[in-house]
Structure 1
Amino acid sequence: MVHKHLLGIDLGTQSVKIGIYNGKGNLLLKESVSYPTHHNNRSLSEQNAEDWWNALIKALRRANDNFDLSLIEGISVCATSSTVLMTDQNYQPIIPAQCWMDQRAVAEEEEINNNASSIVKNRLLYSGQKTSIEWMTTKSLWLKNNYDLTDKFILEQLDWINFKLTGEVAASQCNATCKWNYVNHQNGFSEEFFNEIGLEGITKHWPNRILKVGELVGKITEAAAEEIGLKTGTPVFQGGIDAHIGMIGSGSLEPGHLSMIMGTSFVHLMHHKEPIFNDALWGPYDSPLIENHWLLEGGQLSCGSLISWFLNEFYEGSTEVDKIYLELDEKIKEIDAGSEGLIILDSWKGNRTPYKNPYASGAFIGLTLSHSKFHIYRAILESIAYGTKNVIETFKCSSIPVKKIVAGGGGTKNAAWMQIISDVTGLPIFVPKDQEIGTKGTAIIAAYGIGLYSSIKEASDQMVEMQQVFEPDGKYKEKYDNGFQTYLELNKLLFPIMKKLNKGKEELHELCT
């Protein structure tokens, strides 16, 4: 197994990351290349598909300087979801892709969720009784309402990258189940459901193959091999949503283990042997990763992006990021838990769980002249921790035990933040040795695909190693419990005002144009 070489590709919100691993899960080489997101106004967040491909080419060419890519024996890809692209009949992009965080389809979301049809209600039972503004179904309805879809195809980011690699078009059962209203035990898609919500015939514009995670998509074409340096004929196995594949890459597939993927947003995922229905969560999703394993999902839209905002506003232009973080870590140690009365609401791009509120926005409460930028930084970390606790409490409302958190993603590098989350939630946080769990997860899928392991679960168990555990410090419990209650009260009080303000902005924009 040591001499087997696997390539994992993770297309995130801000960059593409690649990792080359051996069959035992040891990282041999990694590269990352960024690409932009264009926020054209409050609602629109777009990316150019060619930027994804060019970034992947650049990352692989860099890797090829230090590793012979012809040795790669299996490949898999994960990507953000739903980042949606409309193409022509040849799968060439026509317009910029709608990023997962794009908010333009709010009317379509409300239209679907307000539909009283029993057909719609029954299908939405398997997605938390609602659709989301982020999802493929909702975005496809927006595209149908604004474009002529004749001779057009609608793909996710993952589908298009797999097409560029293999010339084959196929969707992942992971994406379809969690974002496209696909229910495996009810024969997949429901044309009756799509007809009821105004999406009749939409499946003709989507990929016509739905593959399970780990199934063969196709093989690297000559054209792709020439462009990116991989060997023609190398197999590409189906991946899925970046956060969900992170469950595989962090070894958090067991029921009771909450997978917390820490990136631009947070995603909280947990497996169950039976379907559990809670309309404040997303799901239960039918076997998106592992057969006969139901998945429940919670999430926070604004997490790493808040820290990026902070760094941009207070340290704009600085290239000494490591030095900045060292200073921040030292300064917030001087500030007591609770940030001396400053509390921030973290829903700057809306709320996923438990409120499912696209109108929610951010707020600073208790700010005084005595507060510094360091108080603001600590309050941001605490606010995201409160949001995570809110998700965990939502799981507990359905009598779902959360025994521990398994964290992955870039946020795990911030030890101060990890400790705050552990203190606020009262749970231990386990951190895998490999922080890039997207590339690790896809490499594990590739290892299963080429036959090194009998199942994805076995491959994950064998290839993932834990490195660190953060234990909660009980001395902060009372302060953080009080802070959490205040956080909940503020959400209840301010969400109606936020909706009024945001709708007011839209009305003003329409009036001015």
Structure 2
Amino acid sequence: MTGSDTDAVAIGIDFGTLSGRVVVASVADGRELASAEHVYRHGAIEERLPGTDERLPRSWALQSPDDWRDVLRHAVPEALAAAGVSADRVIGVATDFTACTVLPTTADGTPLSELDELAARPHAWPKLWKHHAAQPQADRINALAAERGETWLSRYGGKISSEWEFAKGLQVLEEDPEVYARADRWIEAADWIVWQLCGEETRNVCTAGYKGIYQDGKRPSSDYLAALNPGFADFCDKLDFPLSALGDRAGGLSAEAAAWTGLNEGTTVAIGNVDAHVTAASAKAVGPGQLVAIMGTSTCHVVNGEQLTEAPGMCGVVRDGITPGLWGYEAGQSGVGDIFAWFTRTAVPGEYVAEAAERGLSVHEYLTDLAAGQAVGEHGLVALDWQSGNRSVLVDHDLSGVIVGLTLATRPEEIYRALVEATAFGTRVIVETLVESGVPIDEFVAAGGLLKNKWLMQTYADVLRRPITVLTSEQGPALGSAIHAAVAAGAYPDIQAASEAMGKVERAAYTPDEARADAYDELYAIYAELHDHFGRGGSDALHKLHRIANEAGR
């Protein structure tokens, strides 16, 4: 970085599930000068379509594009004002998004949900990452690809997820063909928001590779797509656009976006990225063997490797997908913080809520205090963390949660502890699968909102039998985006250099306790037994229950 850049700042904008967060960071050392958050007015749309009385079917999750624009209109100016930074000091802006959050648009980028004649059609709205209603389409995509020997399938561990672009696109075609026909573009929100910022349509290599089945310079053939459904043969036409590398410049801020944000027209806008993958930069984990777990409502696991190998049940392995020049591996758990939130929202008795309030604690904090006082295994429970299905390694969103060992003496804090442990066990399955497949894991790095719970983090260290390095920034994705903005603006030669200068971590913040780790090995063996029984054909009970619930209209 040159001396003239010492006062320069970069802006990172992180578009999450329920809100957008903005960080203003020093380009010299990554100091976060200010941050701001804007909560989406519509949140995650899972029950009723806005402006209508139409109830959404089971497993649907949508978002509103104008909620995303509101982050630009409100959070960016707020963060700039809080930092006391003028627009002249901002050398670049970068964004990250949940993925696969994807939407149909016209050729000029107008979301179909914003056309009057389509606003009441659910399939015209953006589908949030946790929209899992395309599982039947994903099953057919996988079965046909396996039958035909499609070479790209092994790059995704043998299964494409219902969360991704092709399954969701096929669902639109088969359930609302008019909306499908009107969609000139099927675009990740990560790329759409960049289009809004600089007026230029771009596509990033990360979402294309992990969510859009782009491998070795091509996507699935039209012959294969036509075999799925004749009307699907043209799907890639809605996706195809030249791909740009992470850290590249997408363009300059448009006059309209400058008016929204209070920034200067022409300010560098970086190519879009995914929230999990961009966090590797803020966590100083852009080299091989450094696995980053971004732990929030869900958890995404990303790690670079120097060699290509194919691990079962992964979300994908993509060349340049995290750091240019390396193979990026992704895995994930569809529900983590969401599971804890569900439990506290639906299953905690009133006296617990009252006691927590009296002690000035949240329900989560109160349950954590009670759970932390127990010995490993004292509750006699093991749970499966599948309340939102299983992303890795089973890739099956028709699975559901299981709790084994309940008695009339079981207390809420014991169930809460079992749920936390289940998510740690799920992470251990992913780590062991990667290692057994030949992907070295030398360091486990944690990021995300769940780092605030120190007992939870110690539980993960004990279950994994590994030290855990933590990202010390509370806004990891947004800081990671700011790092990419600095690269796009030319302040650093590459992501590695910018990450080293601007990233924030504490190495080995948690280390495993050997006695607890030994005790967890025994519980993990039971988890693994249940995992394979319910997830790999020992019992089809969970799939049958899912079908019965759908048929009953839930």
Rounded Cα–Cα distance in structure 2 between residues aligned with 1:106 and 1:347: 15
Rounded Cα–Cα distance in structure 2 between residues aligned with 1:276 and 1:443: 31
Shift of 1:69: 4.9
1:76 aligns with 2:94: yes
For residues 130-145 of structure 1, what are the structure 2 equivalents within 5 Å?
Answer: 130-145=159-174
1:63 aligns with 2:104: no
Structure 2 residue aligned with 1:286, among 319, 323, 348? 319
How many residue pairs get aligned? The number is: 509
CA contact (8 A) 2:398 2:546 kept: yes
CA contact (8 A) 2:304 2:323 kept: no
1:483 aligns with 2:528: no
Structure 1 residue aligned with 2:69, among 45, 50, 53? 53
Call closer, same or farther: CA 1:445–1:371 in 2, change over 3 Å.
Answer: same
Q: Which secondary structure state, in structure 1, belongs to the residue aligned with residue 542 of structure 2?
A: helix
Q: Greater CA deviation, 439-448 or 367-376?
A: 367-376
Counterpart in the other structure of 2:45? 38
For residues 85-484 of structure 1, what are the structure 2 equivalents within 5 Å?
Answer: 85-94=103-112, 95-116=124-145, 121-145=150-174, 146-148=176-178, 149-152=180-183, 153-183=185-215, 185-187=216-218, 190-191=221-222, 193-198=224-229, 199-206=232-239, 208-313=241-346, 314=348, 323-467=362-506, 469-484=509-524
Rounded Cα–Cα distance in structure 2 between residues aligned with 1:14 and 1:283: 25
Call closer, same or farther: CA 1:353–1:251 in 2, change over 3 Å.
Answer: same
Call closer, same or farther: CA 1:27–1:322 in 2, change over 3 Å.
Answer: farther
Aligned-residue CA RMSD in angstroms? Answer: 2.2
Call closer, same or farther: CA 1:28–1:456 in 2, change over 3 Å.
Answer: same
1:509 aligns with 2:553: yes
Call closer, same or farther: CA 1:101–1:277 in 2, change over 3 Å.
Answer: same
Q: Which secondary structure state, in structure 2, belongs to the residue aligned with residue 108 of structure 1?
A: helix
**Structure 2: which amino acid aligns with 1:434?**
S
Shift of 1:221: 1.1
CA contact (8 A) 2:24 2:80 kept: no
CA contact (8 A) 2:424 2:460 kept: yes
Shift of 1:327: 3.0
1:21 aligns with 2:53: no
CA contact (8 A) 2:398 2:542 kept: yes
Alpha-carbon displacement from aligned partner over 1:379-425 (angstroms, at most 9, x marks no partner): 11111111111111111221333222111111111111100000001
Shift of 1:197: 4.1
CA contact (8 A) 1:121 1:129 kept: no
CA contact (8 A) 1:169 1:209 kept: no
**Structure 2: which amino acid aligns with 1:392?**
V
Rounded Cα–Cα distance in structure 1 between residues aligned with 2:145 and 2:276: 32
Call closer, same or farther: CA 1:361–1:83 in 2, change over 3 Å.
Answer: same
Call closer, same or farther: CA 1:339–1:246 in 2, change over 3 Å.
Answer: farther
**Structure 2: which amino acid aligns with 1:9?**
I
Q: Which secondary structure state, in structure 2, belongs to the residue aligned with residue 370 of structure 1?
A: coil
Shift of 1:316: 7.4
Alpha-carbon displacement from aligned partner over 1:162-213 (angstroms, at most 9, x marks no partner): 1221111111111001110112x34567555545544322233236232111
**Structure 1: which amino acid aligns with 2:544?**
K
Rounded Cα–Cα distance in structure 1 between residues aligned with 2:149 and 2:129: 23
Rounded Cα–Cα distance in structure 2 between residues aligned with 1:154 and 1:471: 44
Call closer, same or farther: CA 1:321–1:195 in 2, change over 3 Å.
Answer: farther
**Structure 2: which amino acid aligns with 1:302?**
G
Q: Greater CA deviation, 198-207 or 371-380?
A: 198-207
Q: Which secondary structure state, in structure 1, belongs to the residue aligned with residue 341 of structure 2?
A: helix
Q: Which secondary structure state, in structure 2, belongs to the residue aligned with residue 115 of structure 1?
A: helix
> Given the two structures, how large is their TM-score scaled by the length of structure 2?
0.87
CA contact (8 A) 1:237 1:449 kept: yes
CA contact (8 A) 1:239 1:245 kept: no
CA contact (8 A) 2:425 2:524 kept: yes
Percent identical: 28
Q: Which secondary structure state, in structure 2, belongs to the residue aligned with residue 351 of structure 1?
A: coil
**Structure 2: which amino acid aligns with 1:478?**
D
Counterpart in the other structure of 1:494? 534
Shift of 1:339: 4.7
Q: Which secondary structure state, in structure 1, belongs to the residue aligned with residue 132 of structure 2?
A: coil
CA contact (8 A) 1:259 1:405 kept: yes
Rounded Cα–Cα distance in structure 2 between residues aligned with 1:189 and 1:19: 38
**Structure 2: which amino acid aligns with 1:13?**
T
**Structure 1: which amino acid aligns with 2:62?**
E
Runs of at least 5 residues in structure 2 that lack an aligned partner in the other structure: 48-56, 113-123
Call closer, same or farther: CA 1:460–1:316 in 2, change over 3 Å.
Answer: same
CA contact (8 A) 2:249 2:269 kept: yes
**Structure 2: which amino acid aligns with 1:43?**
S
Alpha-carbon displacement from aligned partner over 1:244-303 (angstroms, at most 9, x marks no partner): 111122111222221111111111111111110122223222221333311222211110
> Given the two structures, how large is their TM-score scaled by the length of structure 1?
0.93
1:4 aligns with 2:35: no
Q: Which secondary structure state, in structure 1, belongs to the residue aligned with residue 264 of structure 2?
A: coil
Call closer, same or farther: CA 1:257–1:30 in 2, change over 3 Å.
Answer: same
**Structure 2: which amino acid aligns with 1:30?**
S
**Structure 2: which amino acid aligns with 1:19?**
V
Shift of 1:85: 1.1
Shift of 1:233: 1.1
Rounded Cα–Cα distance in structure 1 between residues aligned with 2:251 and 2:96: 15
Call closer, same or farther: CA 1:42–1:316 in 2, change over 3 Å.
Answer: farther
**Structure 1: which amino acid aligns with 2:11?**
L
Q: Greater CA deviation, 481-490 or 222-231?
A: 222-231
Shift of 1:329: 3.5
**Structure 2: which amino acid aligns with 1:404?**
E
Rounded Cα–Cα distance in structure 1 between residues aligned with 2:402 and 2:58: 16
Shift of 1:147: 2.3
**Structure 2: which amino acid aligns with 1:437?**
G
